[in-house]
């Protein structure tokens, strides 16, 4: 029993250290925003200020980059989500030889380094005389984000009771009506989650975007370039705002997901 107690305390200590490791960097980065210093740091502390938020608001390039990011993310959402849904529908319907191969092929963009997705897209479209820019960024990001969407939708589809489709057919619904009235409403929560993930993945993508962005700059690329050249705590201010927004969205998303889960559990009982 004694060794068990030590194990228990050991693991608790470890978890504690781990979460400190996980959050300290983010806290330090946030705190550096308010330091009245020319460089983003908390040591030495030179007094609190909000001037870096002002500096950020004055930064026109940042606003352009934000707009580009939003346009790209919306584009990816519109293209990748339908592709992912189609793949999930396909995989949940067909049986037989070739399915494993197709599944592996559909998964492969997730197992390919992001830079290579970017490079191959760049080269392919250059041969069609299309060069880097917002459109190529959307295409390159869609290549792997569609696979994420596929996995999320497929997970829900696998729990779908297909007799519901037969019931609809038996009541005279066409296949299209069965799809839109029975299957799509069932998939709605997964599709919404997939939209959120697709948007976020696109918004924060760096490795792929770097190669296909052309002369357009997304917010993530902009931040990275700021870190390397002309670093001021304005970057921290931007980071803090982005972190706050994502944390808010994450908590909201989790909360909604749990409500959903609770409702399912109670209805089963």
Partner 1 sequence: MFKQLKARFGSSLSVGIIAIIGIWLIGMVILPQLIMVDYSFRPNLLPSEIGTDKDTYSLNNYETLFGNSIHLSIFAKTIWSSVLVTILTLVVSYPLAFYLAKVATPGQAALCILLLIIPFWINEILRTFSWYIILAYKGPLNALLLALGLIDRPVRFLSGDGGVMVGMVYAYILFMIFPIYNAIESLDSNQVKAARNLGAGWIRTHYRVIIPHAKPGIATGCIMTFMLAAGSYAVPALLGSPGSRWFTQIIYNWFFEGGDWNQGAAYAFLLLLICIGFIALVMRVFKVGLGDIAR
Partner 2 sequence: MDSSVHLDNVVMNFGDFTAVQKTDLKIESGEFFSFLGPSGCGKTTILNMISGFLEPSKGVVKIGGKSMAGVPANKRPTSMIFQNLALFPLMTVAENIEFGLEVRGVSKAERKKTSDRLLELVALEGSGSKKPDELSGGQKQRIAIARALAVEPQVLLLDEPLSALDLKLRQHMRTELKEIQRKTGITFIYITHDQGEALTMSDRVAVMSAGKLQQVADPITLYREPQTSFVASFVGENNPITGVVDAIDGNLVTLNCGVLGKFTGRGIGTISKGQSATLFIRPELLKLGQTGDMSFTARIAEVNFEGSYLTLTALLNQQHAISVQIGAEQYTADLIPDAEIQLSFASQDAVVIAGEGNV
Torsion angle of the four alpha carbons 162, 165, 166, 168, in this order, in degrees rounded to the nearest 10: 150
Q: Are 111 and 121 in contact (CB under 8 A)?
A: no
Task: Determine how many CB atoms are found less than 10 A away from the CB of residue 221.
Answer: 19
Q: How far is the CB of 155 from partner 2 (least distance, A)?
A: 18
Q: How far is the CB of 178 from partner 2 (least distance, A)?
A: 8
Q: How far is the CB of 98 from partner 1 (least distance, A)?
A: 7
The tokens describing 205, both together, are: 């993508």
Torsion angle of the four alpha carbons 192, 194, 197, 198, in this order, in degrees rounded to the nearest 10: -110
- Residue 172 is a binding residue for partner 1 (CB under 8 A): no
Q: Which stretch binds partner 2 (CB under 8 A): 129-137, 177-185, 230-238, 239-247?
A: 177-185
For residues 73 and 200, give the distance between their C-alpha atoms in angstroms, rounded to a whole number: 8
Site residues for partner 1, window 104-143 (CB under 8 A)?
104-116, 119-124, 126-127, 139, 142-143
Site residues for partner 1, window 59-88 (CB under 8 A)?
82-83, 86-87
Q: Are 118 and 182 in contact (CB under 8 A)?
A: no
168, 194, 210, 219: which one contacts partner 2 (CB under 8 A)? Answer: 168
Question: Closer to partner 2 at the Cβ: 5 or 267?
Answer: 267
- Residue 160 is a binding residue for partner 2 (CB under 8 A): no
SS3 assignment, position 250: helix
Angle CA(160)–CA(85)–CA(175) in degrees, nearest 5?
A: 60
Q: How far is the CB of 174 from partner 2 (least distance, A)?
A: 6
- Residue 41 is a binding residue for partner 1 (CB under 8 A): yes
- Residue 182 is a binding residue for partner 2 (CB under 8 A): yes
- Residue 232 is a binding residue for partner 1 (CB under 8 A): no
Site residues for partner 2, window 113-132 (CB under 8 A)?
none
Torsion angle of the four alpha carbons 158, 160, 163, 168, in this order, in degrees rounded to the nearest 10: -130
Residues touching partner 2, count (CB under 8 A): 19
Residues touching partner 1, count (CB under 8 A): 92
For residues 107 and 58, give the distance between their C-alpha atoms in angstroms, rounded to a whole number: 43
127, 172, 229, 265: which one contacts partner 2 (CB under 8 A)? Answer: 172
């Amino acid at each position: 029993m004694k060794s068990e107690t030590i194990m228990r305390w050991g693991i608790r200590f470890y978890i504690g250290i781990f979460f400190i490791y996980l959050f300290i960097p983010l806290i330090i980065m946030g705190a550096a925003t308010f330091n009245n210093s020319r460089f983003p740091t908390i040591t030495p502390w030179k007094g609190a200020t909000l001037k870096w938020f002002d500096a950020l608001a004055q930064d026109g390039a940042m606003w352009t980059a934000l707009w580009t990011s939003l346009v790209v993310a919306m584009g990816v959402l519109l293209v990748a989500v339908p592709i992912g849904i189609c793949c999930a529908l396909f995989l949940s319907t067909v049986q037989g030889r070739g399915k494993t191969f197709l599944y592996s092929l559909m998964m492969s963009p997730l197992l390919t380094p992001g830079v290579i997705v970017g490079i191959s897209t760049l080269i392919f479209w250059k041969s069609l005389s299309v060069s880097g820019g917002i459109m190529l960024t959307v295409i390159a990001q869609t290549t792997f984000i569609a696979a994420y969407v596929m996995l999320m939708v497929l997970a829900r589809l696998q729990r779908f009771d297909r007799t519901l489709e037969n019931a609809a057919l038996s009541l005279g619904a066409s296949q299209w009506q069965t799809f839109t009235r029975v299957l799509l409403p069932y998939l709605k929560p997964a599709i919404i989650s997939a939209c959120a993930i697709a948007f976020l993945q696109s918004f924060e993508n760096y490795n792929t975007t770097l190669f296909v962005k052309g002369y357009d700059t997304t917010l993530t690329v902009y931040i990275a370039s700021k870190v390397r050249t002309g670093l001021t705590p304005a970057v921290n201010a931007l980071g803090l705002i982005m972190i706050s927004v994502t944390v808010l969205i994450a908590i909201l998303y989790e909360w909604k997901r749990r409500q959903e889960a609770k409702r399912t559990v109670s209805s089963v009982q």
